[in-house]
Homo-oligomer: A and B are copies of this chain.
Amino acid sequence: MVRNKQVLLKNYVDGFPKESDLEVSSDATISLELPKNESGVVLLKNLYLSCDPMMRNRMTETYLGAYMESFKPGSPLVGVGVSEVVESSHPDFQKGDYVTGYINWEEFSVVRNPQLTKIQHTDVPLSYYTGILGMAGMTAYVGFYEICSAKKGDYFFVSAAAGAVGQLVGQFAKRAGCYVVGSAGSKEKVDLLKNKFGFDDAFNYKEEQDLTATLKRYFPDGIDVYFDNVGGKMLDAVLANMRVQGRIAACGMVSQYNSLQEPEGIYNMSLVIFKSIKILGFTFYHYLHLYPKFYDLILPLLREKKIEYIEDIAEGLEKGPAALLGLFSGKNIGKQLVAVAHD
């Protein structure tokens, strides 16, 4: 029996979450031997945990999504992670395998009937499976290639562009021949977009008074495709600047996740009619069959260093709450994850 550090939800969250809504607890213990006479069980040593804005929604008592459930107060958070199998009585998993899937925020986990995927490609950093090779990567891939119908020469705008999804989407759009502008929340991020990720232009939305006028300045001829990670006021400003038959890939609304009970209104919806705009909500869950196709694209790009990817790694479970909550004030630069232990 060893101590098993965990990050627990302390109480349901209303409004902006605080670190005190979460608790790093060392109270739990776990046996590092598998139960005898029971098969189909794996013992995981957890390595990397993904911080995703959507986890905020699971901290509310009334979960608004369609795919999951609320976290339970007193129980560990759950999110996409990467783990090492340290013991297994399950035929599909062997000691030493690396796996990815939904993982508790804790040092070790015993999992029965695991819904885990064995990691096949280990020549790339394992932490990438929390982001570019995981949910964020697939979200960017599906959103760009299956949803928004972007084509060469399109005026393409992406918000939260330095985030896990945004940085990839922008690079996909550049590779497809679009004119790409991104928004982010600091000068440092704007510099990254322009100088590292190869965006045509970028701006710091926090320095802008009138987002409609800002977008008019960056897109004097209007926007063909908007990849929306933030919702709210930016979405309204984009609607005012969309071109006829423009497409909005609605991927996230991080600006709204802390006020789901009192969301901001969107006031330009009539323009959806007047300009024949399509707003396309999506999730990668409905496209899981495309994982092989996505890996065929992304793995060579990574190996040949033809795509840039930045991670923001918090070391240790103790830093998990701050890392997760930092997403909502834009503290992270690139993909935010927590390293529980290293491979």
Contacts and interface: CB of A to CB of B under 8 A. Distances in A.
Interface in A245-303: 245, 250-253, 256-257, 260, 263-283, 286
A250 B265 contact: no
Contact of A281 (B250, B257, B264, B276): B276
A235 interface: yes
A264 B236 CA distance: 13
B231 A271 contact: no
A57 B270 CA distance: 11
A65 interface: yes
Interface in A147-186: none
Nearest to A279: B279
Interface string A289-322: 0000000000000000000000000000000000
A13 interface: no
Of A65, A271, A274, most B-chain CB atoms within 10 Å:
A274
A70 to B, nearest CB: 13
Contacts of A269: 231, 235, 250, 253, 256, 263, 266
Contacts of A260: 270
A163 to B, nearest CB: 15
Given A244-B66, A265-B264, A286-B245, A275 B270 contact: no
A239 to B, nearest CB: 10
Nearest to A257: B270
A299 B67 CA distance: 45
Contacts of A271: 64
Given A265-B264, A267-B263, A275 B231 contact: no
**Copies of this chain in the oligomer:** 2
Which of A251, A264, A272 has most chain B Cβ within 10 Å? Answer: A272
Nearest to A147: B278
A291 to B, nearest CB: 18
Interface in A51-96: 57, 64-67
A267 B266 CA distance: 6
A264 B250 CA distance: 21
Given A231-B270, A245-B286, A270-B231, A275 B281 contact: yes
Contact of A267 (B67, B244, B265, B283): B265
A275 B65 CA distance: 6
A225 to B, nearest CB: 15
Given A276-B281, A280-B278, A283-B276, A270 B256 contact: yes
26 contacts: A64-B270, A65-B274, A66-B274, A67-B244, A231-B273, A245-B286, A250-B272, A251-B273, A252-B273, A253-B269, A256-B270, A263-B268, A263-B269, A264-B265, A264-B267, A265-B267, A266-B266, A266-B267, A266-B269, A272-B279, A273-B283, A274-B281, A278-B281, A279-B279, A279-B280, A279-B281
Interface of A: 57, 64-67, 231, 235, 244-245, 250-253, 256-257, 260, 263-283, 286
